Amino acid sequence: MEIPPDTRLVALVGDPVAHSLSPRMHAAAFQARGLPWAYIALRVAPGALRDAVAGLVALGFEGANVTIPHKVAVCDLADDLDLSVRRCGAANTLVFREGRVVAHNTDVEGFARALAEAGVEVRGTAATVLGAGGAARAGCAALGEQGVRRVAVLARDPRKAEALCARMRGLFPGTAFEGYPLEETWLRTALRNCDLLVNATPVGMHPSSDQSPLSEGDWLRPEVVVFDMVYNPPHTRLLQQAREAGCRTVGGLSMLVHQGAVSFELWTGVQAPLDAMKRAVGLLPAGV
């Protein structure tokens, strides 16, 4: 395939990157908008991140997505940090402008837009978040921004849950963030007292798609909305349990598309073609 010399380039930087849906999604988006842009996945080992980012800038790339394991380390390499990054301490998008590297975290807005698109109003409600890593930070920041009343964060290392909650309490004093161990008793108590459950752990992700963070689906009340950030497979065991319990569900592909749409708009200044991006990741059937 010929890549003309005036093609504008965006990279995905991570390790591994082979499984990512982002190259397909952004290629479809550039094509739908008629933009002469290309998106390339580059496997970058942890020790090579600094050279890789400097190299992308030197080569005239427009920006990049950053994924595991670089989302935290890349913050130290940026010249400017967007508010979303300062809140989460992690970045997933870089924009290169006049030699400067600006870091953003579009997972925050992507999660919020996915909730809104599903018609889930969270202001004043109570949420339970499973996990205390990068995705959980983004989810908690979005829930704090939206005026959620209380967020219980459950993690297998409760010190990480508490550290995340301490950070969020400083940012969003109107929301009560509380950290707990990710154990059956705490989980069942949290589920009895929440309106929204967010899985921000990789439990249930391919190849362990028979697993769920809930050993029993009947811990769920039908009033709870269940949001699984895992998108591979799109229909996780947790979402299946939630549907069987009569809960509304939101899958991770929706967040993937919306965080990608925000990144696309930051790089190009053009409104993202959501339907083309949804078709590319299988969220809409071809031809819709």
Smallest separation, CB 229 to ligand NAP (Å): 4
Q: Which is nearer to ligand NAP, 177 or 231 (CB)?
A: 231
How far apart (Å, rounded) are the C-alpha atoms in residues 15 and 70? Answer: 8
Q: Which residue lies nearer to ligand NAP by CB, 122 or 140? A: 140
Residue 63 vs 251, nearer CB to ligand NAP: 251
Residue 53, Cβ density class (10 Å: 0-12 exposed, 13-18 middle, ≥19 buried): buried
Tokens 């964060």: give the residue: 153
Q: Which residues are catalytic?
A: 71
Terminal-residue alpha carbon distance, the chain: 27
Binding site for ligand NAP (CB under 6 A): 68, 107, 110, 131-136, 155-157, 160, 182, 200-203, 205, 229-231, 252, 255-256, 259
* Shortest Å distance, C-beta 100 to ligand NAP: 25
List b or e across 75-108, with b for residues whose CB sees 16 or more CB atoms inside 10 angstroms: bebbeebbebbebbbbbbbbbbeeeebbbbbbbb
For residues 62 and 93, is the Cβ–Cβ distance under 8 A? no
Q: Measured from the CB of residue 224, what is the shortest distance to ligand NAP in angstroms?
A: 19
Position of minimal CB gap to ligand NAP: 133
For residue 282, which phi and psi values (nearest 5 degrees)?
A: 85, 15
| Smallest gap from residue 69 Cβ to ligand NAP (A) | 8
Q: Which is nearer to ligand NAP, 108 or 245 (CB)?
A: 108
